[in-house]
């Protein structure tokens, strides 16, 4: 189990004369390859690809084949359509080391939010929630006539002190693009009451 040159010695005692003899042999134990895999880009956008390079061994076998340009070689091109895990067996001599890598596939974001109400009284708070959006890295809200006026959270409680229709906008983004959702909240004209 220890890499390097190991010396094995055999002693024999024979006959009734207690004769002693020995023989030895050197055995070279090769280390298991420490395979390292590096993608150029991870995550990737759906429909794009990334080169993935393995190192630490002499030859490589990649699996599964789906979403790969090749199943052998140090560098392959990965173009999965869903987040996928690839296994890499690296061989040096008769020794094999294994590792794996997950290539995350992102879809463009989809903006969707809910409002606890579509009409509220003036000086009233309402919960605006963007948690139903998908594939989102960042949120950017604008609440005209509201407090706060902006937010980068997935949702927020917002108080409106201005009567009339308030056009709320949420922009979501990830490295594959942006999407926008808008909603008109009616604030009743009872701010002075």
Q: Which CA distances in Å does 137 have to 16, 23, 26, 81, 183?
A: 84, 67, 58, 19, 21
The size of the chain, in residues, is 193
Residues 129, 132, 136, 138: what is their CA dihedral angle, to the nearest 10 degrees? 0
Q: What is the pTM of this model?
A: 0.67
- Distance, CA of 175 to CA of 64 (rounded, Å): 26
Residue 16 has pLDDT above 80, yes or no: no
pLDDT, tens digit, 9 for 90 and up, residues 158-180: 999 889 999 999 999 999 999 99
pLDDT, tens digit, 9 for 90 and up, residues 104-146: 999 999 999 999 999 999 999 999 999 999 999 999 999 998 9
pLDDT, tens digit, 9 for 90 and up, residues 41-92: 888 999 999 999 999 999 999 999 999 999 999 999 999 999 999 999 999 9
169 pairs with which residues across the strands? 142, 182
């Amino acid at each position: 189990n220890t890499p390097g040159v190991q010396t094995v010695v055999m002693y024999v005692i024979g006959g009734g004369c207690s004769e002693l003899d020995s023989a030895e042999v050197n055995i070279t134990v090769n280390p298991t390859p420490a395979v390292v895999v590096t993608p150029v880009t991870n995550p990737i956008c759906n429909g794009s690809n990334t080169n993935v390079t393995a190192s630490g061994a002499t030859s490589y076998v990649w699996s599964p084949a789906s979403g790969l340009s090749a199943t052998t070689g140090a560098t392959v091109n990965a173009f999965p359509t869903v987040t996928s895990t690839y296994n890499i067996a690296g061989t040096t001599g008769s020794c094999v080391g294994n590792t794996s890598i997950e290539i995350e596939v992102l879809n463009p974001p989809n903006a969707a939010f809910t409002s606890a109400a579509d009409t509220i009284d003036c000086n009233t708070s309402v919960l605006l929630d963007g948690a139903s959006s998908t594939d989102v890295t960042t949120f950017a809200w604008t609440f005209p006539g509201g407090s706060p006026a902006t937010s980068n959270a997935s949702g927020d409680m917002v108080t409106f002190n201005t009567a009339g229709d308030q056009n709320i906008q949420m922009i979501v983004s990830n490295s594959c693009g942006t999407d926008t959702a808008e909603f008109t909240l009616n604030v009743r004209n009872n701010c002075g009451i």
